[in-house]
Structure 1
Amino acid sequence: MSIPEPLDDPWADTGPSDRLPVSRQRRGEGRDRGEQHERGRESGGWEGGSPGFERVPPQDLDAEQSVLGGMLLSKDAIADVVEIIKGHDFYRPAHETVYQAILDLYAKGEPADPITVAAELVKRGEITKVGGAPYLHTLVQSVPTAANASYYAEIVHERAVLRRLVEAGTKITQMGYAADGDVDDIVNSAQAEIYAVTEQRTSEDYLPLGDIMEGALDEIEAIGSRSGEMTGVPTGFTDLDALTNGLHPGQMVVIAARPAMGKSTLALDFARACSIKSNLPSVIFSLEMGRNEIAMRLLSAEARVALHHMRSGTMTDEDWTRLARRMPDVSAAPLYIDDSPNLSMMEIRAKCRRLKQRNDLKLVVIDYLQLMQSGGSKRAESRQQEVSDMSRNLKLLAKELQLPVIALSQLNRGPEQRTDKKPMVSDLRESGSIEQDADMVILLHREDAYEKESPRAGEADLIVAKHRNGPTATITVAFQGHYSRFVDMAQT
């Protein structure tokens, strides 16, 4: 269905390439006209018309007009459409102007019809941009019912995604030809461009404080309405969850300890709480243990079957019964394990993006930081610089994918040189930037690792030494090494 446009339409398309990047519009300058024509046909850069014109970007003006017409007819249609498209999804700027006026009236609880929208646009001085008030009536007359507004909105949204894909492809092509910088950095930037398309993000990520405050207040109200219910990804430890309210999107959490303290075990406990207990997708990148060893530890912790019984083949009938009872829940958990050797930062980033897109990933665990490789073709000046770069990239990954990233890290020999053996943040090995990048640093300490006859045998301290969004504290938990797990003291 094609809708006639006003005769003096001030926003009619000026040409098939009027919304393409300038670099795309001018491609081919300086070539012989015949050469441009032949290359254009071969590459699919344009179809028909005069040589030098590019293809019209993906769009459906009929669908855009039908969406607006439905919104002008029904308040329910507005509520449906606003969940599907944003203003920048419209191909024509004037359609975005009309859309925004409708939403503003709707937000104020006022009716949004051709009369009120025209009055709003007159008040803003934008009525001429949309071809005048008669065009708003034309939009309504073109739609027999508002019932299909959401269907038309899906079409508009799909065309917008395709336009962003074209734009991303153009940027990636330019990156490849420019060859400016490290190859791995270019590949990562290209992946980020494609990810941004699927996440429907725009390049204008800055917002005025007024808009941000509204979202912040909404979040505060939502938290209050939960009556103390945890808002983040649970850790599985009551006191730690009470202190942190769970692990939150964008956070980088560092678990650090000396060797053989139980860093990997604690990280697996966090992953179990996320995926097995709460059914939230998580991934473990293990550069130290193999996938079978991880699976055995998970089963030992969940079924309460001694790990050494599994490894030695001395499981009892009761052990097998416990294992069979927990196996279905463990197997069904959305927990992913990657034990690929020599994983680079770029590979981890690419895999996390894919899991986020396909499975709505909620937690990333990396075991452990000092075993990772930067993966860049340019060698870092030092190992300290390399670890610093990886730490910073993990923080950026947490922020980009809006999920918590747990990175395990070794401590230097500092604790062993002190009388009480307790670790400090300054003991973080190979890089001071780990402390700077981390939103939370949890130092794991067990007295019985140094003194076998310690009165605190079987206890472990989770020292929350840094907590960007809350208080610090030391939380005591029980270490059940035979089951390869830590638990709340109350469960012992």
Structure 2
Amino acid sequence: MDPNQAPYSSSRKRDTGASDFSGGGGRVPPNALEAERSVLGGVLLENDAMNVVLEELSREDFYSEGNATIFDSLSSLFREGQPMDTVTLRETLVSRGKLQAVGGDEYLLKLTNTIPTVANIQAHAKIVREKAVIRRLISSCHEIAAKGYGDYGEMEEFLDSAERAVFDVAKARARSPYEHIKDVVLRTFTEIHQAAERGDRITGLPTGFRDLDDKTAGMHPGDLIIVAGRPGMGKTAFAMNVGMNACVLTKQPVAVFSLEMPKEQLVRRLLCSEAKVDGNRMRSGQLWREDWPKLARAAGTLSELPLYIDDTPALSMMELRAKTRRIKSEHGLGLIIVDYLQLMRSGSRNDSREQEISEISRSLKALAKELGIPIISLSQLNRGVESRGNKDKRPQLSDLR
């Protein structure tokens, strides 16, 4: 029997949440095997399509265990910068002892021979993900029903846990795409209005800070620049000023990955800074009459900047790589800003968080070199700086969290 046509295994039920309801007659959970094969075959035919696929799918989204294993192997090749074709995929599967488990050489050839085009790969990936979400929802509802038939405890706690289970499925479904700042400015400006009604020696990319540019000659392709500081010291404000200056002075697109702050909050800060308007007045809706022309001009200025914002939380290194490659291919890219380092995931298993942070830093440096652009990564400093008493408090590498 073809492993990729086989009934859903118990291990995949645990991975994707595809348990049946009791009394469901053993019905097969929702799936889209043809779409799964189309996605995998499309990546083998056109490696760049992996950037699109990784924005939509993870291993657990595949219904077929064999297809999930193939996706996992392709992800490893992608992460290592290796070509993805039937030869390299076969070698990876053989090294893992998984070739026969996925259907052997015959199935690998089938993946590429039955895919006429990769034009619809994103649509097919969305179908795969949609079926995975439904399976997870079925699983959550099954668990709620089982608990309801048994000892569900306090009613309020039971309702809360049921609501949280369904919410977690919806939250996992969300994918926060990058967005042109013009769209965020319009949305943010509307919120501000509603609140008011209720009451050159530079050889690299310039930062816009003259003294800093004089000392560094700007930010250069392949640079990984760590901006570290204790919480509340203005790291985000500084990085966003650098990003805006780069946009204005060079007209090059800048991508901001805000893992901590929502897009709207970030744009609100930018509007305050650009318009020279007090942020507290803006948040409370207590704007002065003379503030509005300033905000209107600031909104117009920001909307014209080639600035893209992504606020996906807990972004993995693989997701960041896929998103930045896609932005560069579609719009060009001159600078990446990551806020901040410790909120990222490496995507691989590590014995310690310190090792994971080191791996993320190395991966960011490799990405800067690959794309030929500078990357600014913000980082938190630990309390070691403050505990030195009267000693030199200049930050050291060991002070990075």
TM-score by length of 2: 0.51
CA distance in 2, matches of 1:295, 1:266: 14
CA distance in 2, matches of 1:381, 1:247: 34
Q: Which residue of 2 aligns with 1:307?
A: 279
1:258 matched to 2:222: no
Q: Which residue of 2 aligns with 1:325?
A: 297
Secondary structure of the equivalent of 1:412? coil
CA distance in 1, matches of 2:274, 2:87: 48
Secondary structure of the equivalent of 1:317? coil
Q: Does the 8 A contact of 2:201 with 2:214 survive in 1?
A: no
Choose from 382, 387, 391 the match for 2:361: 391
- In structure 1, runs of 5+ residues without a counterpart are 1-166, 182-227, 431-492
Query: 1:301-353 CA distances to partner (integer Å, 9 max, x unpaired)?
Result: 11111111211111111111111122222111111111011211110011111
Which amino acid is the alignment partner of residue 429 of structure 1? L
CA distance in 2, matches of 1:421, 1:299: 37
Secondary structure of the equivalent of 2:385? helix
Q: Write out aligned runs for 1:122-161 (5 A).
A: none
Deviation at 1:285, TM superposition (A): 0.7
Deviation at 1:360, TM superposition (A): 1.5
Q: Which residue of 2 aligns with 1:406?
A: 376
Q: Which residue of 2 aligns with 1:417?
A: 387
1:358 matched to 2:330: yes
CA distance in 1, matches of 2:395, 2:94: 46
Q: Does the 8 A contact of 2:385 with 2:394 survive in 1?
A: yes
Q: Which residue of 1 aligns with 2:267?
A: 295
Which amino acid is the alignment partner of residue 424 of structure 1? P
1:375 matched to 2:375: no
Which amino acid is the alignment partner of residue 248 of structure 1? H
Q: Does the 8 A contact of 2:205 with 2:219 survive in 1?
A: yes
CA distance in 1, matches of 2:218, 2:372: 14
Q: Which residue of 1 aligns with 2:209?
A: 237
1:339 matched to 2:303: no
Deviation at 1:231, TM superposition (A): 2.0
Q: Does the 8 A contact of 1:286 with 1:338 survive in 2?
A: yes
Q: Does the 8 A contact of 1:415 with 1:427 survive in 2?
A: no
Q: Which residue of 2 aligns with 1:429?
A: 400
Q: Does the 8 A contact of 1:409 with 1:428 survive in 2?
A: no
Q: Does the 8 A contact of 2:384 with 2:399 survive in 1?
A: no
CA RMSD across the alignment: 2.2
Q: 1:242 to 1:327 in 2, by over 3 A?
A: same
Q: 1:382 to 1:168 in 2, by over 3 A?
A: closer
Q: 1:324 to 1:179 in 2, by over 3 A?
A: farther
Q: 1:292 to 1:171 in 2, by over 3 A?
A: farther
Q: Which residue of 2 aligns with 1:435?
A: none
CA distance in 2, matches of 1:266, 1:321: 25
Q: Which residue of 2 aligns with 1:42?
A: none
Q: Which residue of 2 aligns with 1:184?
A: none
Query: 1:149-201 CA distances to partner (integer Å, 9 max, x unpaired)?
Result: xxxxxxxxxxxxxxxxxx854555446644659xxxxxxxxxxxxxxxxxxxx
Which amino acid is the alignment partner of residue 382 of structure 2? N
Which amino acid is the alignment partner of residue 270 of structure 2? L
CA distance in 2, matches of 1:180, 1:403: 36
Deviation at 1:274, TM superposition (A): 1.3
Which amino acid is the alignment partner of residue 300 of structure 1? C
Which amino acid is the alignment partner of residue 342 of structure 2? Q
CA distance in 2, matches of 1:373, 1:365: 16
Which amino acid is the alignment partner of residue 367 of structure 2? L
Q: Does the 8 A contact of 2:206 with 2:249 survive in 1?
A: no
CA distance in 1, matches of 2:289, 2:345: 44
Which amino acid is the alignment partner of residue 423 of structure 1? R
Q: 1:175 to 1:312 in 2, by over 3 A?
A: farther
Q: Does the 8 A contact of 2:259 with 2:312 survive in 1?
A: yes
Query: 1:58-77 CA distances to partner (integer Å, 9 max, x unpaired)?
Result: xxxxxxxxxxxxxxxxxxxx
Query: 1:434-479 CA distances to partner (integer Å, 9 max, x unpaired)?
Result: xxxxxxxxxxxxxxxxxxxxxxxxxxxxxxxxxxxxxxxxxxxxxx
Q: 1:374 to 1:426 in 2, by over 3 A?
A: closer
Q: Does the 8 A contact of 1:345 with 1:390 survive in 2?
A: yes
Deviation at 1:395, TM superposition (A): 0.5
Q: Does the 8 A contact of 1:257 with 1:423 survive in 2?
A: no
Choose from 261, 270, 273 the match for 2:242: 270
CA distance in 2, matches of 1:253, 1:304: 28
Q: Does the 8 A contact of 1:414 with 1:423 survive in 2?
A: no
Secondary structure of the equivalent of 1:232? coil
CA distance in 2, matches of 1:275, 1:243: 21
Q: Does the 8 A contact of 2:228 with 2:400 survive in 1?
A: no
- Percent identity between the aligned chains? 47
1:284 matched to 2:256: yes
Q: 1:386 to 1:329 in 2, by over 3 A?
A: same
Which amino acid is the alignment partner of residue 370 of structure 2? E
